[in-house]
A = this chain, B = another copy of it.
Amino acid sequence: MEPFENISPLDGRYIGPDETMRKRMSPYLSEAASIRYQLKVEVALLETMAEFGICSASVPESARKAAEDITAKEVFEEERRIGHNVRALVNSMRKRMPENERGFVHLFATSNDILDTSRTLAFRDFASEILIPDLIDLVSVISGKAREYASVRQIGRTHGQYAEPITFGYALSLYVSRIGGRTVALERAREDLRGKLSGAVGAHNALALHDPMNPAIFERKHLERLGLKASDTQVSTQVIEPEAMADFVFQGILAMSAMANLADDMRHLIRSEIGEVKIVDGATRVGSSTMPHKVNPVAFENVKSLWKAFAPRIVTVLMDQISEHQRDLTNSASSRFLGEILAAVDYAARRLGGAMKKIQPDEEALGRHLAACRDQIVAEPLYVILALSGHPDGYGKVRSLLKDARESESTLLQAAGKDEEAAKILEGIPPHQAKVIDDPTSYTGDAAERALHTCDEWEKTLGLLR
């Protein structure tokens, strides 16, 4: 089957036909992956049984060998025949094992002990082996750029209007902080994902047949073997408390929101009229099918667009918080789509990282815009300086000077120079204030230092996550 026959753009366009992408994601997020992770959980369960003396050590050994041999196709066909996915898996294991060992397979477990736990495992592995490293790489790219341009002045914009100056690196460092922060939050949520082995209605019913005194210990040992925890007090229904998974997915989506914001910022800075950012790209791309002169910010558009496609899916996650009684199974199909969200977050991180490597500020454009609003910038520092110098209404004073300036068609500073009160104050100000009045584009606060500090801190923090 060609990937192009697929329905999902993930499988038919973004990931499926791209071998690098597919090989990164498929081992964790595909149907085949979910079978492999389920087998892992079934084998671990038998290992725990052996540890507790319920079966001999040969049973998990046989199961492990059987598992190596089982394909997704085989399980799928067995499921078609019997109409039950986990039982199909179990049958595939059992038929490869000696007759006297078969009875232990899946013992104590309900299907969802396997499904919930294996999904947790797959997502945990995907996060630690793929997604978090990719997010760290992305932060690292942004951080590199933020350092490089920490002192490159840029006009800040609010309401889409020139406001006060910052530095280009400072603006980028905010994304070091935001995406860095989400990476840490995702790691924390990842560590908090839970597994279960509490049976069909959650009360360790079957395990209590083995050990009536403390059935939950078995669950704990089994999950520890997989590197997982159960819910805090080991209560559940047929499914794990859904909140930990919701937290995990939400952090992924928040990371994507921050990426979409960065993508939007880049898109706008690349706009024809702004041009403060350039894409430096050796490739011979076709700009547009009818306008050959254009080079478009497609990677940034793609990241924003994927965010549109995936952010609303958090509502599905919220819907899946609710399940009737010990479980109503209307979360069964919907929760299968969670992996798509993770795939999209990772795809976006990689695509954004690739695009960010190629950006470069255009210092000419940066300078031009700063120059264009040089006289407007000065209003704020002027008012603050007047106030700091003891003027009772610096703000009002500046408003009235602005009016003077408009009327006399001069600049604000010229108007201030002509105004006795203001002129007198400005004469006596300290050098660091005089510098700002002299060159308002230097009114960048602690942007440069703070950009570097932010990069330092997050590189350290994320370095610990590697």
Contacts and interface: CB of A to CB of B under 8 A. Distances in A.
B330 A210 contact: no
Interface in A141-183: 155-167, 170-171, 173-174, 177-178, 181-182
Contact of A7 (B29, B110, B293, B391): B29
Which of A167, A261, A289, A432 has the most chain B CB atoms closer than 10 A to its own CB? Answer: A289
Interface stretch (A129-137, A297-305, A355-363, A415-423): A297-305
Interface in A280-297: 283-297
Contacts of A334: 305-306, 308-309
A410 interface: no
Nearest to A246: B254
23 contacts: A5-B30, A5-B32, A17-B76, A86-B289, A156-B326, A162-B272, A163-B291, A166-B201, A174-B202, A177-B231, A206-B380, A209-B385, A243-B258, A247-B250, A268-B325, A272-B372, A292-B398, A296-B329, A298-B329, A301-B333, A309-B313, A311-B318, A315-B315
Nearest to A412: B293
A227 interface: no
A279 B391 CA distance: 33
Q: How many copies does the complex hold?
A: 4
Which of A8, A84, A231, A308 has the most chain B CB atoms closer than 10 A to its own CB? Answer: A8
A210 B387 CA distance: 10
A160 B243 contact: no
Contacts of A290: 106, 109-111, 199-200, 206, 380, 383, 395
Interface in A303-362: 304-309, 311-316, 318-334, 336-337, 339-340, 343
B232 A181 contact: yes
B311 A315 contact: yes
Contacts of A177: 231-233, 235, 241
A313 to B, nearest CB: 6
A161 B296 contact: yes
Contacts of A339: 7, 9
Interface residues of A, number: 204
Contacts of A398: 292
B289 A84 contact: yes
B316 A309 contact: yes
A201 B161 CA distance: 11
A123 B110 CA distance: 42
Majority secondary structure of chain A interface residues (helix, strand, loop or mixed): helix
A19 to B, nearest CB: 10
Interface in A207-260: 207-210, 212, 214-216, 231-238, 241, 243, 246-247, 250, 253-254, 257-258, 260
A60 interface: no
A433 interface: yes
A258 B344 CA distance: 27
A205 interface: yes
Given A103-B386, A109-B290, A156-B201, A233 B30 contact: no
Contact of A82 (B16, B203, B285, B295): B285
Contact of A233 (B318, B372, B385, B453): B453
